[in-house]
Structures are given as C-alpha cells and as structure tokens.
Amino acid sequence: MKLQWDKYELDFEERTYIMGVLNVTPDSFSDGGKYYSFDRAVEHGLEMAEDGADILDVGGESTRPFSQRVSVQEEIDRVVPVIEALNKEVNLPISIDTYKSEVAKYALDAGASIVNDISALRFDPELGPLVAERGVPVILMHMKGRPEDMQKDPQYDDVVGEITEFLRDAVARATQSGIPKEHVVVDPGIGFGKTFDHNLVILRDLRRFEGLDRPLLVGTSNKSFIGHVLERPVEERAVGTMATVAVAVMNGAHMVRVHDVKMAVDTVRMVDAIKRGSAQ
C-alpha cells in the first residue's frame, strides 16, 4: 500500500512513517504554549525534521477534551506563517490539522500538502471538495461528539466495530466529495470520545481495521489513558507512549503521530525490524 501525491510517496510496505506534532497553540494538553511563538514553533519543526520525522503536523486549535474553539482568522494567523517558514526549510510533507476549509485553504496555499481532519469531513461541507480540488491526501479521524463534549460519557457496544463502520462511511463521504480513495488515511481517534479502556481495546484489536484497506494512522502520544495506567503526569509519559507506539506498529499501524520524534524513530525502527525478521 502506498500514498502518492505531488512530489511525495509513502510506501507502507517498506516501513512505518512518523508524524511529528507541532501545536501552535497556548493550550494543547501535552505542550500547550511551549511552541506558541513563531520562532519557537519553526525551531521545533526543524528539530523534528532533523530527528527523523517524515511528516510535520501543524495545528492552531487545541482539540483536547473540553477545549474551546478559536476563530478561523486566529487559527490562520497561528499556522500559516509557521507553514510558510517550514516549507522553505524542509523537504517533507506538512500536514494542516484542521476541520475548517478556510484554514485548510490558506495552509495549503502556504505549502501544506495533507489535511488532517478530526471531524472526518463532517463539520465543514466545503472541506471535502477543497481537498479533492487540491489533489492532496486527507486523514479522517473517528470522534464521538465534539472536543468540548466528547468525553462526557462515551459508550459503545463494540468500540472497534463501531469505529470501523464510522470510518467506512467517512471514506465513502470522501470519495463522494471527489477525493480518490487512494488519498485517504484513517485514524481510529485514540482519546477522542473514548474511555481509558476503549483506548486499550482499540490498540489491542487494531488489526480489525485492516478490512478498510486504507493506511492507518494512530496517535497515542502522552494521552491521558497512559497517565491513568502508569499514574504519571503528562511530562512523564514518554516510556508509556513508546510502549503504545510499539504495539500500534506491531498491530498494523502505517503511521504514528508523536510529540517525541527522536524516541519514536528508534522505537519504530526496532519494531519494523522485528516485523521483517531482518536487521536490514
């Protein structure tokens, strides 16, 4: 399975790919405010590229549980200068983490070449046609509810089965918008409308998503279920995060979304070698 567009190709038969998280926000759950300034955000993006990130995922609105929305203009003002600067310095695909078509438009104009949509094209009807027109890949994530209410009382009869059907419908929604199926990546949305146990079950049973026949992105980095299991604050979840990354890769993830790129590179390389049964 491959993802090909413009000048980029991700060959998932060869290895697992790493997406580095760059939150240009004052209130992200993991690194809120740390990279909020333009200079620090660009510096961190360059650091992640140097550490081995395959994709840089730039977001200007926190989607942590119970977070509040920001205006389109504020989101544009946060992300566009950073994307423009990084696009001049790195030869990597840059992803815009947004569900707003207007933000995506300006980000793509600035040099982004992937749209990462937590709403799976549900919140803004203009986003699907924009992605189709620009010919870029889209990442469609499962979320129950919205960030401001998704963790109030998430319930499922079969969490993996229900997420699979949601993502199947999301792929259909994308293709109906004119996006080629070959440009669609799916994400089960760890931590988005799930209990701690739901997240653990998803990771354990990740192979069940293979029926979707689409590349699978998994984002567990520093999330609260890791803190719950290990009884660790967010700044002490690196080892727990890498355990979840290893499990995700072993169970079929094609891409992982992480804050600590350097540690993830070693983790993923080791698991990929085990999967191949070869050190080469």
Q: What residues are labeled active site?
A: 223, 257
Q: What whole-number distance in Å separates Cα of residue 125 and Cα of residue 105?
A: 14
Residues linked to residue 20 through DSSP beta bridges, in sequence order: 56, 258
> In terms of Cα–Cα distance, which of 258, 275, 273 is closest to 19?
258
**3-state secondary structure (DSSP) of residue 7:** coil
> In terms of Cα–Cα distance, which of 219, 275, 222 is closest to 251?
275
Task: List the strands of the sheet with 138-141, edge to edge.
Answer: 184-187, 138-141, 114-117, 94-97, 55-59, 17-23, 255-258, 217-218
> In terms of Cα–Cα distance, which of 107, 44, 45 is closest to 75?
107
Instruction: Output the DSSP codes for 14-37.
Output: T--EEEEEEE-SS--TTTTTTT-S
Q: What whole-number distance in Å separates Cα of residue 208 and Cα of residue 245?
A: 17
- Token pair of 240 as six digits: 């727990």
Phi first, then psi: give them for residue 221, nearest 5 degrees: -50, 115
Instruction: Output the DSSP codes for 134-182.
Output: HT--EEEE--SS-TTTTTSS---SSHHHHHHHHHHHHHHHHHHTT--GG
Phi first, then psi: give them for residue 204, nearest 5 degrees: -65, -40
